[in-house]
């Protein structure tokens, strides 16, 4: 309460000069407002008295919470967005680029087998179906990838290049097949052109798409992490302000807990915990997806590529009558398959995976055993050796290849699961980031008002 009195005049004060004409009398209410403004307002916001302290800290804390609301929600939205993009675009693009090369490799191996079988006068129908399916799959995967890479110009250019190259590739393959059926002389040349196209233009473009996808994966992963840290920092500051307000309130109110403020403090503390939890879960899950899933996918894809390349090379050599087992290229590819198998084995982290890789090794041995008699012989392959190769070698290779796909699918599941795990806790984070500070602001203001009301 404020009492307004006239100050007493000092005794030695000179006599008052004639008073000027009295001003026009102002209304009492206006005068009261003026006095309040001059005298009371500074004290209202002065921290030296309790009401002022409450007002100052309440406003400061509410402002901090407002900042937390803005930064935290923006951060949470961007973090969830980054994780969501990994789940919906980046991860599928990463997997899709591996799939695409797998399809092209399978088309290569199947097509060479088809051309090879055509040389015997009885084209292998099931291999032909596999070739057509693999090529169709490659085209569909290219289209799908173009929807996943967004506006990334480099990836889009690479995908256009792949689409064109696939058309040219299939043209050469068909020409080779036709030439072979007609006993033409260009069959092998057409086949080699197609295989070269696959191993240079198409493989190079696929690698570009893969690298861009990997870069985006790393960027999105990093982006989410930084933003989460910023939001957590804001939450720490807001929590500190709330705790200070709570401590001051307790000290000035005979230790009576201010419930709205306490609720606000608990809520912001919860937000901080959830932010931390989500950040850790996200980081761990993405790390696991990368280490357990994606690396295994890469190793498996490498294994598949070297296996397919070896298969194509052997088919070509059979056509050309160069079945000498000292062939450098084939030896190199065999070594590559063996080292990739060993790498894959070292990554395996479940009993199921280890069992699948053991099977892979056995099927690879079978393929080598089945083709050993062929590569030991020299000179042009006869229809009989080609038929033998088709019945035993290609069948064994098919077992090896489909087992790779099985392993690949398991690894994909692991990778996808990791990304899903990372995405799950961040989905509802934006809501919490908005609601918690807003409720906190209300709690602080209501709590402070209640204390001020106690004073009145």
Q: Name the residues that contact another protein, by CB under 8 A.
A: 122, 124-126, 129-130, 132-133, 351-352, 354-356, 358-359, 362-363, 387, 390-391, 395-396, 398-400, 402-407, 409-410
How far is 101 from 203, CA to CA, in rounded Å?
7
Q: What is the per-residue DSSP string for 393-409? A: IHHHHHHHHHHHHHHHH
| Structural element, H or E, at residue 161 | helix 153-181
CB of 263 to another protein, least distance (A): 41
Contact yes or no for 35/4 (Cβ under 8 A): yes
CB of 402 to another protein, least distance (A): 4
Q: Which residue lies nearer to another protein by CB, 404 or 445?
A: 404
Q: Which residue lies nearer to another protein by CB, 164 or 362?
A: 362
Contact yes or no for 144/96 (Cβ under 8 A): yes
> Is the four-CA dihedral 137, 138, 143, 146 of positive or negative sign?
positive
CB of 114 to another protein, least distance (A): 12
CB of 139 to another protein, least distance (A): 15
Q: Bridge partners of 379?
A: 322
> Is the four-CA dihedral 138, 316, 369, 330 of positive or negative sign?
negative
CB of 383 to another protein, least distance (A): 13
What size, in residues, is the chain?
456
Q: Which residue lies nearer to another protein by CB, 222 or 358?
A: 358
Q: Which residue lies nearer to another protein by CB, 256 or 362?
A: 362
Q: Bridge partners of 91?
A: none
Q: Which residue lies nearer to another protein by CB, 137 or 427?
A: 137
Q: Which residue lies nearer to another protein by CB, 65 or 299?
A: 299
Q: Which parts of 309-361 are beta strand (E)?
A: none
CB of 406 to another protein, least distance (A): 3
Q: Which residue lies nearer to another protein by CB, 162 or 404?
A: 404
CB of 241 to another protein, least distance (A): 48
CB of 124 to another protein, least distance (A): 7
Of 293, 313, 307, 338, the residue nearest 404 (C-alpha): 307
Q: Which residue lies nearer to another protein by CB, 193 or 304?
A: 304
174, HSE (Cβ side, Cα atoms, 13 Å): 8
Query: Taking the CB of residue 427, how many other CB atoms lie within 10 A of it?
Result: 14
How far is 322 from 370, CA to CA, in rounded Å?
17
Phi, psi values for residue 379, rounded to 5° = 95, 175
State the angle between helix axes of 187-197 and 295-320 in degrees (0 to 180), rounded to the nearest 10.
160
Cα angle 245-250-256, degrees, rounded to a multiple of 5: 130
CB of 120 to another protein, least distance (A): 11
Q: Which residue lies nearer to another protein by CB, 242 or 407?
A: 407
Of 336, 341, 337, 332, the residue nearest 359 (C-alpha): 341
Query: Rounded to an integer, what is the distance from CA 202 to the centroid of its chain?
Result: 25
CB of 398 to another protein, least distance (A): 4
Q: Which residue lies nearer to another protein by CB, 120 or 449?
A: 120
Taking CB atoms within 8 Å and a gap of at least 24, the contacts of 240-246 are 241/57, 241/60, 241/61, 241/64, 241/65, 242/61, 242/65, 242/268, 242/440, 242/444, 244/57, 244/61, 245/57, 245/58, 245/61, 245/444, 245/448
CB of 386 to another protein, least distance (A): 11
Q: Which residue lies nearer to another protein by CB, 57 or 364?
A: 364
User: CA–CA distance from 283 to each of 154, 181, 289 (Å)?
Assistant: 28, 57, 10
Q: Which residue lies nearer to another protein by CB, 158 or 404?
A: 404
CB of 106 to another protein, least distance (A): 10
How far is 6 from 18, CA to CA, in rounded Å?
19
Query: Taking the CB of residue 91, how many other CB atoms lie within 10 A of it?
Result: 28
Of 317, 295, 314, the residue nearest 306 (C-alpha): 314
């Amino acid at each position: 309460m404020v009492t307004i009195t006239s100050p007493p005049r000092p005794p030695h004060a000179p006599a008052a000069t004639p008073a000027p004409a009295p001003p026009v009398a102002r209304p009492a209410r206006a005068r009261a407002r003026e006095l309040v403004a001059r005298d009371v307002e500074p004290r209202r916001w002065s921290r030296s008295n309790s009401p002022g302290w409450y007002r100052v800290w309440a406003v400061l804390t509410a402002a901090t919470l407002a900042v937390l609301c803005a930064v935290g929600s923006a951060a949470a939205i961007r973090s969830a967005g980054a994780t969501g993009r990994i789940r919906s675009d980046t991860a599928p693009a990463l997997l899709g680029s591996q799939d695409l090369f797998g399809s092209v490799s399978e088309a290569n191996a199947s097509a060479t087998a088809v051309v090879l079988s055509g040389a015997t006068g009885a084209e292998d129908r099931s291999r032909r179906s596999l070739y057509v399916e693999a090529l169709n799959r490659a085209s569909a995967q290219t289209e799908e990838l173009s929807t996943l890479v967004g506006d990334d110009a480099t990836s889009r250019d690479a995908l256009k290049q792949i689409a064109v190259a696939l058309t040219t590739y299939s043209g050469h393959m068909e020409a080779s097949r036709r030439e072979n059926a007609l006993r033409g002389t260009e069959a092998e040349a057409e086949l080699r052109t197609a295989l070269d196209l696959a191993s240079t233009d198409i493989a190079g473009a696929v690698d570009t798409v893969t690298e861009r996808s990997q870069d985006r994966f790393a960027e999105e992963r990093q982006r989410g992490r930084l933003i989460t840290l910023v939001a957590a920092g804001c939450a720490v500051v807001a929590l500190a302000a709330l705790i200070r307000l709570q401590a001051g309130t307790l000290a000035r109110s005979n230790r009576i807990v201010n419930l709205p403020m306490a609720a606000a403090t608990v809520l912001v503390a919860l937000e901080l915990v959830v932010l931390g939890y989500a950040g850790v879960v996200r980081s761990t899950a993405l790390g696991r997806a990368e280490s357990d899933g994606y690396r295994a996918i890469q190793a498996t894809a490498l294994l598949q590529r070297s296996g397919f390349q070896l298969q194509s090379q052997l088919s070509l050599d059979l056509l050309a009558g160069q079945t000498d087992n000292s062939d450098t290229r084939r030896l190199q590819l065999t070594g590559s398959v063996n080292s990739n198998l060993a790498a894959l084995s070292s990554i395996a982290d479940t009993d199921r995976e280890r069992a699948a890789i053991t099977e892979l090794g056995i099927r690879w041995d079978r393929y080598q055993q089945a083709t050993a008699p062929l590569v030991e012989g020299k000179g042009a392959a006869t229809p009989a050796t080609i038929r033998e190769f088709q019945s035993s070698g290609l069948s064994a290779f098919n077992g090896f290849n489909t087992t790779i796909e099985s392993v690949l699918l398991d690894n994909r599941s692991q990778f996808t699961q990791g990304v899903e795990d990372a995405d799950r806790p961040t989905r509802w984070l934006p809501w919490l980031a908005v609601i918690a500070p807003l409720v906190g602001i209300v709690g602080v203001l209501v709590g402070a008002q209640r204390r001020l009301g106690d004073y009145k």
